[in-house]
């Protein structure tokens, strides 16, 4: 039986000027058949009529975990605590799966699914009676896909990531998820370990539930979600198995109900200033080169102007503060114990490098959340005035080879600097011979026999959003075994139209647009061309005449343009028709052009 209190609530909601979105669905008076149809099937799994018509907020739990998505799989457990939080605060939880995106398994590449997961989540949030949503994120692309959808639908939304794995160890040495792959591949290439040894070593980097324990794309994107104000302060860095993670799940459930009652929406939180805070945070944490792609995409979907020049202007001059692999030494557990993102933000705040008044999910400002939260562990999180590296952000590179590419400077090692950048006659620049690979298959086939020496630039093309649908994470190329055996102490410089794993420590120039598949000038490069890379001028140029560039371009088009593989599935074809370049976030142009959907 309905209590008097519930009856009053319903009566109030129907006369309230702004009833909840779900209430409009479930308490329709104009056509009761429709609300009955919405209600009757939800009753069959045990919800009561009273609950559904009570006007209580209905909260979606968008669960990205499944057997297909091991990085996020622990959300199948955590969602129960989220649900308890929602219920405790007076809401009704409805959990549903998102399209899974598993970084390490999805072929041809997981980024292909970011936009698919985005589109399907938009449809779910639009089409069902949700008042708010908890976005359960983790592995690399799951976080931007969720934030992009929240931006488009703009109902109250809060992120909670699954948390990083525990630290990995091998013989007492820290072994990071992802970062160990690059090291192990080099050891394998020179015969130090066999196939089993390779798998054993790589597995040690991933010892528990959770996403990568390094500052790869997952830790980065979840830190940036918190820096944007879209996750509870201090939440991103909590390791998956720690008790604080399950407590955070409960608190996230409580918070979303409060957000619905306060009508605190993504557009109130994800402002231009919030994106600038996230760019600053990305430099300080040593964030992934995938971050500009994803953050620019989220900005496009919420209607905030943001481009790669902003990343250079706002982020480049800032210092690296977090001593976490791949740019530093520690892993997720130390970073969490040292204070996580609030400790990093406290340093930036003190120096006036943050917009202090940005609103966050808990209704407080960024300043209120992080002020004074400095780290006690100065090995893991440095003082702003004693950083690991100054000027540690991304450079936005241009030139005659491409219009736009990004370079992460925090991973430039002293050995690389000495070999390439310390020529007194030409400081901070180098000229070197290029060897060109058409995709990872060509690289694997030719790397050992191609004319590569210790001053070669490795170029990878055909791996952008069109060429390798979704843009492959393959630009970080390992030097040939004969150079490693000779004791090469640094990664060779790499340039390409694809992406690089966030866990890679290679100083690469990535995400070059236009890509070869669009017949950009990357497509006319030939083995042996000399390239000039100038970090001060932020340029990459091929040292051939304008006339020669012109002539090669005409020859390319006369031969039918740059060749790349056919699409293998309908979605790959749709993706290729709709997608924009990496420099603009690799969004579907039509999804951005489309006016934001009505919230009713
Ligand atoms: Fe999923 Fe790194 S592979 S988080
Ligand atoms: Mg990755």
The predicted complex's ipTM stands at: 0.91
User: What tens digit of pLDDT does each residue of 476-526 get?
Assistant: 898 999 999 899 999 999 999 999 887 777 779 999 999 999 999 999 999
Instruction: Tally Cβ neighbours within 10 Å of residue 84.
Output: 16
Dihedral sign for Cα atoms in the order 345, 350, 354, 356: positive
Res. 276 pLDDT band, cuts 50 70 90: very high
**pLDDT reported for residue 41:** 81
For residues 251, 252, 253 and 258, what is the CA-based torsion angle, rounded to 10 degrees?
Answer: 90
To test ligand 1's pocket by mutation, which of 65, 66, 71 has the most ligand atoms within 8 angstroms of CB? 71
Question: Ligand 1: which residue has its CA nearest to atom 2?
Answer: 212
Instruction: Tally Cβ neighbours within 10 Å of residue 432.
Output: 16
Q: Is 231's C-beta closer than 6 angstroms to any atom of ligand 1?
A: no
Nearest C-alpha neighbor of 331 from the set 437, 204, 234, 442: 204
The rounded distance, in Å, linking the Cα atoms of 519 and 522 is: 8
What is the maximum span of the chain, computed from C-alpha positions, in angstroms? 86
To test ligand 1's pocket by mutation, which of 218, 223, 239 has the most ligand atoms within 8 angstroms of CB? 218
User: What tens digit of pLDDT does each residue of 248-267 get?
Assistant: 999 999 999 999 999 999 99
3-state class (DSSP) for residue 265: coil
**Please, what is the Cα angle at 150 between 147 and 152, to 5 degrees?**
110
| Portion of the chain with pLDDT greater than 90, in percent | 81
The rounded distance, in Å, linking the Cα atoms of 284 and 391 is: 10
Question: Ligand 1: which residue has its CA nearest to atom 1?
Answer: 139
Is cis: bond before 326, omega within 30 of 0? yes
Res. 12 pLDDT band, cuts 50 70 90: low
CB 499, CB 289: distance < 8 Å: yes
User: What tens digit of pLDDT does each residue of 100-113 get?
Assistant: 999 888 888 999 99
| 597 pLDDT above the threshold of 70 | no
Enter the tokens of residue 292.
């500009």
């Amino acid at each position: 039986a309905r209590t008097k209190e519930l009856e009053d609530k319903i009566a109030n909601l129907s006369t309230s000027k702004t009833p909840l979105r779900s209430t409009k669905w479930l308490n329709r008076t104009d056509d009761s058949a429709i609300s009955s149809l919405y209600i009757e099937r939800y009753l069959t799994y045990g919800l009561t009529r009273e609950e559904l018509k009570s006007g209580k907020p209905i909260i979606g739990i968008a669960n990205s975990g499944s057997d297909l998505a091991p990085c996020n799989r622990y959300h199948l457990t955590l969602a129960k605590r989220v649900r308890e939080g929602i219920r405790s605060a007076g809401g009704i939880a409805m959990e549903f799966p998102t399209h899974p995106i598993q970084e390490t398994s999805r072929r041809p590449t997981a980024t292909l699914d970011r936009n698919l997961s985005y589109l399907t989540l938009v449809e779910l949030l639009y089409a069902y009676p949700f008042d708010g949503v908890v976005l359960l994120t983790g592995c690399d692309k799951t976080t931007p896909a969720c934030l992009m959808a929240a931006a488009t639908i703009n109902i109250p939304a809060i992120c909670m990531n699954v948390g990083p794995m525990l630290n990995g160890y091998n013989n007492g040495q820290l072994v990071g998820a992802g970062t160990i792959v690059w090291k192990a591949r080099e050891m394998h290439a020179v015969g130090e370990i066999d196939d089993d040894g390779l798998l054993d070593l790589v597995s040690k980097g991933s010892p528990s539930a959770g996403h990568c324990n390094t500052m790869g794309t997952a830790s980065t994107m979840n830190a940036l979600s918190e820096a944007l104000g879209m996750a509870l302060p201090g939440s991103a860095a909590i390791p998956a198995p720690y008790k604080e993670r399950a407590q955070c799940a409960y608190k996230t459930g409580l918070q979303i109900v409060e957000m619905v009652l306060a009508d605190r929406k993504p557009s109130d939180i994800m402002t231009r200033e919030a994106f600038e805070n996230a760019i600053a945070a990305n430099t300080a944490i040593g964030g992934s080169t995938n971050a500009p792609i994803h953050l620019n995409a989220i900005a496009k979907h919420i209607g905030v102007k943001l481009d790669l020049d902003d990343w250079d202007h706002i982020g480049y001059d800032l210092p690296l503060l977090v001593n976490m692999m791949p740019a530093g030494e520690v892993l997720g557990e130390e970073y969490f114990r040292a204070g996580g993102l609030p400790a990093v933000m406290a340093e930036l705040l003190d120096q006036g490098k943050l917009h202090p008044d940005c609103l966050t999910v808990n209704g407080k400002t960024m300043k209120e959340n992080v002020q004074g939260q400095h780290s006690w562990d100065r090995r893991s999180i440095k003082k702003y005035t004693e950083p690991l590296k100054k000027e540690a952000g991304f450079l936005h590179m241009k030139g005659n080879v491409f219009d736009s590419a990004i370079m992460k400077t925090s991973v430039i090692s002293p050995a690389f600097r000495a070999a390439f950048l310390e020529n007194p006659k030409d400081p901070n620049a180098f000229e070197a011979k290029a060897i060109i690979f058409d995709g990872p298959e060509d690289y694997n086939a030719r790397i050992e026999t191609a004319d590569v020496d210790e001053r070669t630039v490795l170029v990878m093309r055909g791996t952008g959003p069109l060429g390798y649908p979704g843009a492959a994470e393959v630009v970080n190329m390992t030097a040939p075994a004969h150079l490693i055996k000779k004791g090469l102490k640094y990664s060779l410089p790499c340039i390409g139209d694809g992406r690089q794993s966030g866990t890679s420590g290679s100083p690469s120039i990535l995400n070059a647009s236009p890509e070869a598949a669009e017949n950009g000038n990357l497509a006319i490069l030939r083995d042996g061309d000399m390239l000039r890379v100038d970090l001060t001028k932020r340029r990459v140029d091929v040292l051939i005449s304008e006339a020669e560039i012109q002539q090669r371009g005409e020859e390319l088009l006369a031969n039918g343009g740059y060749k790349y593989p056919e699409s293998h599935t309908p979605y790959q074809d749709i993706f290729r028709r709709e997608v924009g370049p990496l420099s603009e976030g690799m969004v579907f142009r039509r999804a951005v052009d489309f006016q934001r959907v009505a919230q009713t």
